[in-house]
Structure 1
Amino acid sequence: MAGTGELPQEKAGLMGWVALGLVALLAVVLLWWLGVARPLWSFVGAGLMLGATGYAIQGKPGLPGHPVTAFTRPIALDDGMVKLRDDMFGRFSGENQYIVASDAMIRSGDPKAAVQVLLIGIRRVPNSIALWTDLGLAFQTHDRGVVSPASKLAFEQAMRINPDHPAPPFFYGLALIQAEDFAGASRYWHRALALTPQKVGYRAIIAERVALLDRYLAETRER
């Protein structure tokens, strides 16, 4: 009714679709401005389509609005793995500022912001294997432990940029371990060990983890 301050259902629904279209347009412009690789656009598009589908099925634009409060839970990072990552990539590189910021976002419980920070860094340093590797880990955290297509793409890009560096396959393997794909992790950890020079300090850490994983796989095969 007029005078109640509420929009008719049809008009509210139309405005909702217009707003959704503006969000999609803004996303495309932002991706172009950040210089995000085209293969990643499909993941954003999939998210928008999922949102549009949910809106079409469950959306009720005629309902009055109400304030909501964001809820995030802190996420613990393995300090040993953080140190190993720093030893493998170095702590004083130009892209390290983005990795430190991403770690802070993860710890605060906002993996989406961590992904965004790393994408900004990649736009500025597109051939950084450290940023691409960390992006793979951030996507996995964002996707609740699943090695999603976006996470897989990021790790693979790091390995394409520098196929001789042990860090990308090692951390890809770590992500697979967390996703409980132990056989897949073994392949990448063995590759990482083979690529690690004999004299570097962190080789013993990688070798120990490879041995533990091999032992676990052997025991599970015997059962």
Structure 2
Amino acid sequence: MSWIAVVLLGAGALACGAVLLRDARNLWTLFAAALVFGLAGYAAQGFPGLPSAPLPKADTTLTAAPALIDARREFFDASRPPSRFVLTGDTYARRGDYETASGFYRNAVAENPNDGEGWLALAVALVEYADGRGTPGALLAYQNARDALPGNPAVGYFAALPELRAGRLPETRELWAEALEGARENAPGYGYVQERVDSLDNLMAAIVAQGGS
């Protein structure tokens, strides 16, 4: 694939994302980051004769962190704020300090083991702190969040975000669809996830059309 084709395809995908996801700022931010990482990966592998070298990591923390917290709140009753420990942890998470935030989230679930939002916040923070990897601690926190939030699609939504960041859109779509299948239609966040599934369907169709034009 020539660089002209790469640039055109990337620009087309970015333009489609800007149009289709204009009302889904959280998804748009993550998609844009995934697209940038994908192009950077192509740049690294497109010239096999050059010695390998690590690419500088794009700093999306300041934009992704607040978006993740705002998205998390979509899955809970707005009239019932999180515990004081979660609120304090969020102030650190918004600055990208996931290590300190995790400590407060742990305090939240230690005080109330049935705090589903506390477990979810902890899981997301641990994944972010590990650069998108699902560590054993994060997986345990996700499981505890799932147990505390039956019928809520939150865990499935957030567990799919590393796939989205890696540019694996079909896998992201599958995980979000599974989250909806196991959720109550009147559950908080159900419509939020459904909107993102619909937007992702449109986005993937637009990317396919762009590639075939």
TM-score range, shorter chain: 0.5 to 0.7
SS at match of 1:89: coil
Residue pair 2:152, 2:190 contacting (<8 A) in 1 also: no
Residue pair 2:83, 2:108 contacting (<8 A) in 1 also: no
SS at match of 1:185: helix
Correspondence for 2:185: 197
Q: Distance in 2 between matches of 1:136 and 1:192?
A: 16
Is the aligned partner of 1:143 residue 2:130? yes
Correspondence for 2:175: 188
Is the aligned partner of 1:152 residue 2:139? yes
Deviation at 1:116, TM superposition (A): 1.0
RMSD, aligned α-carbons: 3.3
TM-score w.r.t. the length of structure 2 is 0.56
Which structure is larger by alpha-carbon Rg, 1 or 2?
A: 1
Residue pair 1:95, 1:125 contacting (<8 A) in 2 also: no
- The aligned runs of 1:1-223 (5 Å cut-off) are 75-77=62-64, 79=66, 81-91=68-78, 93=80, 95-194=82-181, 195-197=183-185, 202-215=189-202
TM-score w.r.t. the length of structure 1 is 0.54
Residue pair 2:154, 2:189 contacting (<8 A) in 1 also: no
Q: Distance in 2 between matches of 1:140 and 1:151?
A: 6
Residues matched between the structures, number: 150
| Residue identity opposite 1:139 in structure 2 | L
Residue pair 2:66, 2:93 contacting (<8 A) in 1 also: no
Aligned-pair identity (%):
21
Q: Distance in 2 between matches of 1:217 and 1:95?
A: 35
| Residue identity opposite 2:159 in structure 1 | Y
Q: Deviations over 1:99-133 (max 9, x none)?
A: 22222112333211111111111111112221111
Structure 2 residues not aligned, in runs of 5+: 1-59
Q: Distance in 2 between matches of 1:207 and 1:193?
A: 7
